[in-house]
Structure 1
Amino acid sequence: MTSIRVRPRFRHQVEGTAKDINTKLVEGFKKHEDEIHMIFLPHYLVVEYNPDLRHYWSPQLQLSLEENEEGVLVRGLYGPHPNVWSIFFYGYASMGVLSTFLCIIGISQAMVQGQYWAFWAMGACLLIATVLYLIAQFGQKIGAEQTFEIHHIYTDIMGHPEPIH
């Protein structure tokens, strides 16, 4: 999991039915109730740390179960709590929308007045987006130990999945 991706993912093909795999996962994660808790639905589980062990950058593991011809495809996604993820998503979206408008203003300025201040402001938006990305990477490194712990619990329950990407 040394990926530079903001939200590492994995896929794991296992034999059985989604109901059996779901039961196996729920029972396996319940053995670690002192550290983690989970939210589970028939084909979806969210595993996260208990509030006393959780910090701002603590990860969640979201597991979805999809039945196919070979058995069940388990898709795992590691990421921060949705509140943290939303802050970064809206930060990136805001910078993208603002940059688009600044580009339109900058092109208009260049055609009419010959002034280019909007292009400089666009550069500031790019700088802010880059800083947001670096902060996200820093946060991912802070939560890496807990991510590895959850991943090891998962592999103890289910075996080793395909490499994370």
Structure 2
Amino acid sequence: MEVDNEVRLLLRFYKDVSQNTDVVIQKFIDFKQQKNPNYSLKISDNHVWIFINGERKKYYSPHLHLELEKSNENETHIRGLFGPDPTLWTFFMFLHFIIAGVFLIFCGILYTHYTLKNAITTDYTILSLLVISWFMLYFIARKIRYKGNDQMQELEKLFNKIIAT
């Protein structure tokens, strides 16, 4: 999977497996029971999450979410989604909401100062810094995704290995 040419921060993939959904889920249950110290799995209905554990887990370590859909009796459609650590993702969303809130407040202040014919240079400066902050958050997220690329490929190989057994 080539991540450098992707604009999206969350990478998706789709795969059709010529096995029943119950058989595929059982493969993940069997792998979970092996107690691999490097990986952990969470299984809920037709959803599977694969996480990296132990010393190899870093702040940029991704997880893989799989959604298993029954196509027909003997075929399963799998939707995969690589995502960052949920805590890190929540922190980034918190920062986005804070920046957006401050941006809206300063848009109101800018309008007020403009209407009252007051100086608006400071308002424009702060709004510009907030826009720059948004872009910085985006590029930081891309850097985190790039650092986690090797582990994404590792999770994808593990996923294919589990499916192939």
TM-score, normalised by the number of residues in structure 1 = 0.83
**2:38, 2:54 within 8 Å by CA — same for their partners in 1?**
no
Partners in 1 of 2:14 and 2:98 — Cα distance?
32
Q: SS where residue 132 of structure 2 aligns?
A: helix
**2:47, 2:68 within 8 Å by CA — same for their partners in 1?**
yes
Which residue of the partner structure matches residue 162 of structure 1? none
Which amino acid letter does the alignment assign opposite residue 139 of structure 1?
I
Q: Are 1:154 and 2:159 matched, yes or no?
A: yes
- Cα deviation for residue 62 of structure 1 reads 1.0
What are the within-5 Å matches in structure 2 for residues 116-155 of structure 1?
116=120, 117-155=122-160
- Cα deviation for residue 69 of structure 1 reads 4.7
Q: Are 1:82 and 2:89 matched, yes or no?
A: no
**1:30, 1:37 within 8 Å by CA — same for their partners in 2?**
no
What are the within-5 Å matches in structure 2 for residues 10-159 of structure 1?
10-28=13-31, 33-69=36-72, 71-116=75-120, 117-158=122-163
- Cα deviation for residue 72 of structure 1 reads 2.9
Deviates more, 1:68-77 or 1:148-157: 68-77
Which amino acid letter does the alignment assign opposite residue 115 of structure 2?
M
Segments of 5+ residues of structure 2 without an aligned counterpart are none
Q: SS where residue 61 of structure 1 aligns?
A: strand
Which residue of the partner structure matches residue 11 of structure 2? 8
Identity of matched residues, %: 20
TM-score, normalised by the number of residues in structure 2 = 0.83
Partners in 2 of 1:94 and 1:127 — Cα distance?
14
- Cα deviation for residue 76 of structure 1 reads 1.1
- After superposition, the C-alpha distances for 1:53-100 in whole angstroms (9 at most, x for unaligned) are 211111111112223458433211111110011111111121122212
- Cα deviation for residue 124 of structure 1 reads 0.9
Which residue of the partner structure matches residue 163 of structure 1? none
**1:13, 1:74 within 8 Å by CA — same for their partners in 2?**
yes
Q: SS where residue 150 of structure 1 aligns?
A: helix
- Count the aligned residue pairs: 159
Partners in 2 of 1:31 and 1:44 — Cα distance?
19
Quick one: structure 1 residues 30 and 142, their matched pair in 2 at CA, closer, same or farther if it must change by over 3 Å? Answer: farther
